[in-house]
Structure 1
Amino acid sequence: MTSRRGFIKAGGLALFGIGLGGIPGFLADAVAGTKTPALFKRKKVLVCIFQRGAMDGLAAVTPFTDEYLKAARPTLFMSAAKGSANKPLIDLDGRFGLHPSMSAFETVFREKRMSIVHGIGSPNTTRSHFDAQDYMESGTPFKKGTESGWLNRAVGLLGHEAATPFQGVSLTSSLPRSFYGYNPAVAISNLQDFNIQMKGNTQAVNMTAKSFEDLYDQTSSGLLKETGKESFDAIKMLQKIDSKNYKPENNAVYPNTGLGNSLKQIAQLIKMDVGMEVAFTESGGWDTHFNQGTETGIFARNVNDLSESMMAFWADMGTLQDDVTVMTMTEFGRTVKQNGTGGTDHGRASCNFILGNAVNGGLVHGLVNPLAVENLEDGRDLAVTTDFRGVFSEVADRHLGIHNDKVLFPDWSGKKIGVMR
């Protein structure tokens, strides 16, 4: 049976989650009187989006004055010149141009609430999707057997015990490598179905339970038992949330895509105040070997989805924007030279996007040298000039207050580049 305190806390959670205009005073007072942290207490949230397949950073944010790139991509190169037959790139700073299908990003970039890092990547030179993703998610690019992921370690470095099992949440069908480890993390494929997968979490139980009570009773130790009965009361209330009829704030319209739907559900969880501090989701289809396209085509569709989904989420956050930072990542970039089928092959460096009110925005950070052959890695790829760990650690440090790089990214002792204020 649900305890009275559990019901009060979960009831407040449900009322807030379905947007009934705030929590009644008597419920707020009741929650404030409990010994555990209120579930609706505000926390900073880091949202990470993994672009699986390796995004072409040179097409997303193009150094359009580079004549070497223009020669290397005779049918893929895009210009920022106005009045041409094709849609021009969005000139960001006289050197870099944003793909026109990412026009949703222009306003926040001009407002200095988005920063871009170019030339970012892994020091490991593998061009294997699987290996590169594994290294980036573990945060140990030269250690294959690392048990934990960097986001799981980030959860452990937050400086307080988890009040709920939702401290780290992935809106994916299974737990991503980033969340493997000993700290609380769950994967939720869909809030409507509320299916939780625990594979990869060494303290979670790899089982299918008929109910959350069954799962609790069958777990004698580890993550689920430690969360306590009241967390399961909250979970049961979460199951009753009408996520299907959720109405975003500020007339935000999410694309009806996997990424759009995942970010919409992350927004719901943030507003429900379930104790989430690190969120993860992913976007696929970035492996553009064939018919990549320019202003139209598969790449244009993908970057449009990314930008429109992120900006819908940002608008939906409304007054909560100070509490949220969104960061993208991709395992590597694409070759400077296009291939014979109108695409690009596996490369090295790419770029990423960081959205938030505390970013050092309105700038394209990092170093991109002229794309002459002598400046390319292996004579073919945009060189990695910024280690991804330097950016990820700076965002985690500044936004989540994590100040232990030795644990977050073992074996890394590099410099941060100033992507956060």
Structure 2
Amino acid sequence: MNRRELLKTIAAMSLAPMSTQLFAAPASQHRFLVVFLRGAYDASNLLVPTSSSFYYEARPNIAIARPGTDSNAALALNADWGLHPALKDTIYPLFQAGEAAFIPFAGTHDLSRSHFETQDSIEMGQDLSGSRNFQSGFLNRLAGQLNTGSAMSFTDQLPLIMRGDAKVANAGLQKAAKNNVDERQSKIIAQMYGNTKLDKQVEDGFAVRGEIVQNSKAEEAAKSMMAGSMQANNDGNRDAITSKGFELEAKRIGKMMRDKYALGFIDVGGWDTHVNQGGATGLLANKLEELGRGLAAYKAEMGSMWKNTTVIVISEFGRTFRENGKRGTDHGHGSVYWVLGGGVKGGRIVGEQIALTPTSLFQNRDYPVLNEYRSVLGGLFARAYDLNAKQVGQVFSGVPAMDLGLL
């Protein structure tokens, strides 16, 4: 290798300063994966308020029909809610088996409706009225409480949510799997950094890459699925993969979470649907179908560890309850969180809820936030990892944990 190739290789490894310390998670430890949908997905067409006549008045072109015999109708969950039909073969069976639940009216009290500002706010998990530390994400603080070092961000760069004092690994699985550095070249690079401050960091970086490449060898035929799966850095996507590449990524994540990591993070972009969002079919439906397939693939890869696994799907905010003039939806407020897992007491819609009428909307346009995300997540973390109130307080200061009875 010449010098230019060497520098490109080192840069491609994405060895973040805080992203080393790789330890195997204890076999008995709970696995928790956070899936962040960047761009703010339309929760009202995911979890359909089928008992609300106002929903059908507000969305004359994009509403999902009430449950019935039509294949494009919502899938009945209870008397008030239905599920988007694109998830019929993936998430709906999990709900029926009691392994999936939904939390409507969830989110942050941040009112900026800015993708980047709200994403940052959620990832930090700090009090909105106090000073803010952009080097302290709530999953990093949780990793510190777990004290195992077995946390991993499956992203090219270490996201804000994973920044902090705890050592957290990060690697974008798509780029790492395509890296063409062979064993001889890896040794050359490692020798260059021997007996330096970066010695351990480079060693651990190659360990992560080697594990990824090994896991991906059997998936060479599926690499074509990745074409175009990286999202441009606009509309709040922050270079997250799109839903099109999520299924293959989820398989790789499942293998690594099953065997090594107790805590994981992945983001999926492309959810900003201002124009031609579609209803039972179309843009959003396709994305939900791809996301569902990815989550089902993750479950399959977890195998017997699925019973000791929780997945939560969140987004920075929801979207307007009424459709706009371009048959899409605009930036909103409250959202719907998904909670999946083999140990989840699901088959339910949980948390505080209200009937959806013109007078119950927040600022006459959005879902209100009735289930604050730090309280919701704090309750899940406490149950998953048997954390006491003081430990939860180290993750989310000043916010009482909300126990929804899901774990």
TM class by shorter chain equals 0.7 to 0.9
Deviation at 1:127, TM superposition (A): 0.3
Deviation at 1:401, TM superposition (A): 2.9
Tell me if 1:319 matches 2:304. Answer: yes
SS in 2 for 1:373: coil
How many residues align? The count is: 353
SS in 2 for 1:326: strand
Q: 1:77 aligned to 55, 63, 67, which one?
A: 63
SS in 2 for 1:335: coil
> Which is worse superposed, 149-158 or 322-331?
322-331
For residues 26-175 of structure 1, the aligned pairs below 5 Å read 39=24, 41-42=26-27, 43-84=29-70, 87-103=72-88, 104-142=90-128, 143-160=131-148, 162=149, 167-175=150-158
Tell me if 1:330 matches 2:315. Answer: yes
Q: Which runs of structure 1 show a deviation greater than 6 angstroms over 4 or more consecutive aligned residues?
A: none
Tell me if 1:245 matches 2:231. Answer: no
Q: 2:392 aligned to 405, 415, 419, which one?
A: 405
Tell whether the 8 Å contact from 1:78 to 1:89 is kept in structure 2 after alignment: yes
Tell whether the 8 Å contact from 1:212 to 1:232 is kept in structure 2 after alignment: no
Deviation at 1:124, TM superposition (A): 1.7
Question: What TM-score, normalized to structure 2?
Answer: 0.79
Q: Which amino acid aligns with 2:86?
A: S
Deviation at 1:81, TM superposition (A): 3.6
**Change beyond 3 A, Cα 1:295–1:41:** same
Tell me if 1:285 matches 2:270. Answer: yes
Point out the structure with max Rg over C-alpha: 1
Deviation at 1:316, TM superposition (A): 2.2
Deviation at 1:328, TM superposition (A): 0.7
Quote the residue 2:255 is aligned against.
Answer: 268
Quote the residue 1:371 is aligned against.
Answer: 356
Deviation at 1:118, TM superposition (A): 0.6
Spell out, residue by residue over 1:325-368, the C-alpha distance to the aligned partner (whole angstroms, 9 max, x if none).
Answer: 11111000001111000001111111011111222201011233
**Change beyond 3 A, Cα 1:389–1:232:** closer
**Change beyond 3 A, Cα 1:420–1:83:** closer
For residues 171-320 of structure 1, the aligned pairs below 5 Å read 171-190=154-173, 193=176, 211-212=189-190, 214-215=192-193, 217-219=195-197, 225=200, 234-235=207-208, 238=211, 241-245=214-218, 257-271=244-258, 273=259, 275-320=260-305
**Change beyond 3 A, Cα 1:157–1:213:** farther
Deviation at 1:39, TM superposition (A): 4.2
Deviation at 1:238, TM superposition (A): 2.8
Tell whether the 8 Å contact from 1:137 to 1:150 is kept in structure 2 after alignment: yes
1-structure distance, mates of 2:146, 2:178: 26
Spell out, residue by residue over 1:185-243, the C-alpha distance to the aligned partner (whole angstroms, 9 max, x if none).
Answer: 122112673699xxxxxxxxxxxx973454564327xxx84x897x6785575366252
SS in 1 for 2:338: strand
**Change beyond 3 A, Cα 1:100–1:232:** closer
Tell whether the 8 Å contact from 2:153 to 2:264 is kept in structure 1 after alignment: yes
1-structure distance, mates of 2:313, 2:282: 21
Spell out, residue by residue over 1:28-72, the C-alpha distance to the aligned partner (whole angstroms, 9 max, x if none).
Answer: xxxxxxxxx994841322111000011111110011110111111
Quote the residue 2:375 is aligned against.
Answer: 390
SS in 2 for 1:325: strand
Question: What TM-score, normalized to structure 1?
Answer: 0.76
SS in 1 for 2:51: coil
List gaps (5 residues or longer) in structure 1: 1-36, 197-208, 248-254
**Change beyond 3 A, Cα 1:372–1:242:** closer
**Change beyond 3 A, Cα 1:47–1:195:** farther
**Change beyond 3 A, Cα 1:293–1:402:** same
SS in 2 for 1:303: helix
2-structure distance, mates of 1:73, 1:256: 25
SS in 1 for 2:248: helix
SS in 2 for 1:392: helix
